[in-house]
């Protein structure tokens, strides 16, 4: 009987482990996701951004920010990657991705010892399909679109780009979370 009770107790303890593991996994899924930038900064991803497989090899992290449930809801695409080049030239290139009555707002601030160049664009977005901005794929003009962009420049000159693009309604819904994410960078 003693062996039976010990075996029964051991079985009950083992049966409880998956439940605890499931709870731990559920808690991890709800915990904010963080990204390390050049092992120097930590960025906390806003709640609701869903990880996606990157559509390009140069993109390190990609997310989608749907504004509701279902397949037809306005959704923003967020990309994050290391990049280089002149900050002003990159901002000009982003501005060039919009045509017509596009608006551009550029702001610079400091966060966790880094310079952050924050850009807001809206209008008709020239979406390059296949290959990115330098490979000359087919371009589709998307009306009433917006972009939030950031170039994070570390003191050593390394740069990290974050872009959120999508229908203007979806971009507007993410504006506060995007800017707060940048302002709350941690060293």
**168 & 103 share domain:** yes
**82 & 18 share domain:** no
79: domain CATH number is 3.40.1000
**1 & 60 share domain:** no
When comparing pLDDT for 13 and 182, which is higher? 182
Rounded CA-CA distance 67/38 in Å is: 31
**179 & 88 share domain:** yes
**12 & 83 share domain:** no
**84 & 142 share domain:** yes
Specify the pLDDT at position 104.
Answer: 84
**112 & 166 share domain:** yes
- The answer to whether residues 54 and 79 touch, using CB atoms and an 8 Å cutoff, is yes
Number of structural domains, the chain? 2
What are the start-end ranges of the H helices in 45-146? 87-96
Specify the pLDDT at position 68.
Answer: 86
Range of the structural domain that residue 18 is part of: 1-30
**94 & 141 share domain:** yes
Q: Count H helices, E strands: the chain?
A: 3, 9
Q: What is the DSSP letter of 137?
A: -
Specify the pLDDT at position 5.
Answer: 46
**16 & 57 share domain:** no
pLDDT tens digit sequence for 127-179? 886 555 555 678 899 999 999 999 999 999 999 999 999 999 999 999 999 99
Specify the pLDDT at position 128.
Answer: 82
**7 & 38 share domain:** no
**17 & 96 share domain:** no
CA nearest to 77, candidates 97, 101, 98, 59:
59
pLDDT greater than 50 at residue 21: no
pLDDT tens digit sequence for 58-117? 999 999 999 988 888 889 999 999 999 999 999 999 999 998 766 689 999 999 999 999
Query: pTM here?
Result: 0.80
């Amino acid at each position: 009987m003693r062996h039976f009770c010990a075996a029964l107790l051991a079985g009950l303890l083992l049966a409880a482990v998956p439940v605890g593991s499931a709870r731990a996994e559920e808690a991890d899924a709800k915990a904010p996701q963080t990204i390390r930038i050049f092992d120097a900064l930590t960025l906390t991803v806003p709640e609701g951004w869903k990880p996606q497989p990157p559509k390009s090899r140069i993109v390190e992290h990609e997310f989608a920010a749907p504004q509701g449930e279902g397949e037809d809801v306005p959704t923003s695409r967020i990309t994050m990657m290391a990049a280089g080049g002149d900050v002003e030239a990159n901002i000009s290139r982003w501005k060039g991705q919009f045509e017509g009555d596009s608006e551009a707002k550029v702001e610079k601030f400091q966060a966790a010892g880094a310079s952050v160049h924050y850009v807001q664009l809206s209008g008709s977005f020239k979406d390059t399909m296949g290959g990115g901005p330098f490979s000359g794929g087919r371009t589709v003009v998307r009306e009433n679109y917006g972009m939030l962009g950031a170039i994070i420049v570390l003191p050593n000159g390394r740069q990290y780009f974050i872009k959120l693009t999508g229908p203007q309604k979806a971009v507007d819904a993410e504006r506060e979370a995007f800017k707060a994410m940048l302002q709350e960078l941690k060293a």
